[in-house]
């Protein structure tokens, strides 16, 4: 027969358990909110002056989103084309310097920018390409005014590629290089959680995605570049590393399959989610140089450009 003391002990035990569960629930919610805050918090820093080996001028122009975008403009040879360089998440224009040097040496005019909330550009949050898309519209307008009459291309990595595909309207360019672009924010988050926490980490993805409206005022449905790539009519070269764990090679292949012609796909063997220009070096210059030369300069393909386009 249960005694009053026994019932009181059970009640106290249940009360403590409920308090512990409540504490864990609150702590988990705070941790998830903090993780979302860390991912979207601005990555601003002083970029400094252009390097002495790159004859760039510092420029500032308004984004279509209302922010002021900072960057460097490198003049090119008339009639040789112009390129907009777009960096990845939590990076800035410095990460694109290698590409800028290569393209400048090839005669292109080059514009490197800091997306809003990155580098020296002000902004409230990093939005994984959604608000950054407005920066691209302003950058292309500036580049066309600075290099009138030139054919224009984009070379974009990771978030920069996502922003290019999320832009409304899509960029009106003559060629575009898209490196390591995530198909959906859901897949991008799951890949990163699995990489750092194992399979159980992927279970947190829905909860973290639920914080997007709080931090950014947008939903996961607004961060799906794969739904947009089929509408982009510009010739495109997609590049991915076959060891990339942030954007899996199968996800990059799905992006390629969804893309409209004309299109090419280059798999960089052994490359993870790294700076593909630095990793591939001369092979990058050859492959990207041939692609841009074909579409921005009408260069006839030579033996060095005899690639298998669709891998």
**Which pLDDT value is given to residue 227?**
98
Q: Predicted confidence band at 200 (pLDDT cuts at 50, 70, 90)?
A: confident
Among the ranges given (16-20, 149-153, 210-214, 231-235), the one the predictor scored with the smallest mean pLDDT: 16-20
DSSP lists the bridge partners of residue 263 as 236
Instruction: Render pLDDT for 16-53 as a digit per residue (tens, 0 to 9).
Output: 655 544 443 343 444 444 555 567 999 999 999 999 99
Domains of the chain, earliest start first:
41-184+223-305 (3.40.50.1820)
**Which pLDDT value is given to residue 145?**
97
Instruction: Return the half-sphere exposure (C-beta side, CA atoms, 13 A cut-off) of residue 12.
Output: 6
Does the predicted TM-score (pTM) go above 0.75?
Answer: yes
Across 115-151, b (16+ Cβ under 10 Å) vs e yields bbbbbbbebebbbbbbbbbbbbbbbbebbeebbeebb
For the ranges 63-67, 206-210, 261-265, 298-302, the one whose mean pLDDT is highest: 261-265
**Which pLDDT value is given to residue 65?**
86
- Give the CA angle between residues 130, 147, 60 to the nearest 5°: 50
Judge whether residue 273 has pLDDT over 80.
yes
Judge whether residue 55 has pLDDT over 80.
yes
Instruction: Render pLDDT for 95-122 as a digit per residue (tens, 0 to 9).
Output: 999 999 999 999 999 999 999 999 999 9
39 Cβ neighbours under 8 A, 6+ residues apart: 126
Instruction: Render pLDDT for 65-86 as a digit per residue (tens, 0 to 9).
Output: 889 999 999 999 999 999 999 9
**Which pLDDT value is given to residue 309?**
53
Q: Predicted confidence band at 201 (pLDDT cuts at 50, 70, 90)?
A: confident
- Please answer whether residues 35 and 27 qualify as being in contact, where contact means their C-beta atoms are separated by less than 8 angstroms: no
Judge whether residue 148 has pLDDT over 90.
yes
Mean pLDDT across the stretch 155-171? 97
């Amino acid at each position: 027969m249960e005694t009053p003391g026994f019932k009181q002990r059970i009640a106290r035990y249940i009360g403590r358990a409920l308090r512990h569960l409540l504490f864990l629930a609150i702590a988990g919610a705070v941790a998830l909110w903090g993780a979302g805050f860390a991912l979207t918090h601005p990555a601003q820093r002083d970029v400094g002056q252009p390097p002495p080996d790159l004859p760039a001028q510092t420029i500032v122009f308004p984004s279509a989103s209302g922010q002021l975008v900072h960057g460097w403009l490198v003049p090119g040879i008339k009639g040789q084309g112009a390129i907009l360089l777009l960096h990845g998440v939590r990076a800035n224009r410095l990460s694109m310097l290698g590409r800028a040097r290569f393209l400048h040496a090839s005669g292109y005019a080059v514009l490197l920018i800091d997306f809003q909330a990155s580098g020296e550009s002000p902004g409230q949050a990093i939005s994984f390409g959604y608000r950054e898309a407005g920066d691209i519209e302003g950058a292309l307008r500036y580049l066309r005014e600075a290099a009138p009459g030139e054919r224009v291309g984009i070379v974009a990595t990771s978030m920069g590629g996502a922003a290019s595909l999320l832009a409304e309207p899509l960029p009106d360019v003559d060629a575009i290089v898209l490196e390591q672009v995530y198909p959906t924010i859901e897949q991008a988050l799951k890949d990163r959680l699995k990489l750092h926490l194992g399979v159980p980490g992927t279970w947190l993805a829905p909860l973290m995605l639920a914080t997007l409206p709080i931090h950014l005022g947008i939903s996961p449905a607004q961060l799906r570049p794969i739904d947009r790539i089929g509408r982009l009519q510009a010739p495109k070269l997609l590049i991915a590393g076959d060891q990339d764990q942030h954007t899996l090679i199968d996800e990059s292949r799905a992006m390629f399959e969804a893309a409209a012609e004309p299109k090419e796909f280059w798999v960089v063997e052994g490359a993870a989610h790294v700076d593909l220009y630095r990793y591939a070096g001369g092979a990058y210059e050859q492959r990207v140089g041939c692609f841009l030369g074909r579409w921005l300069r009408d260069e006839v393909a030579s033996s060095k450009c005899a690639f298998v386009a669709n891998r």
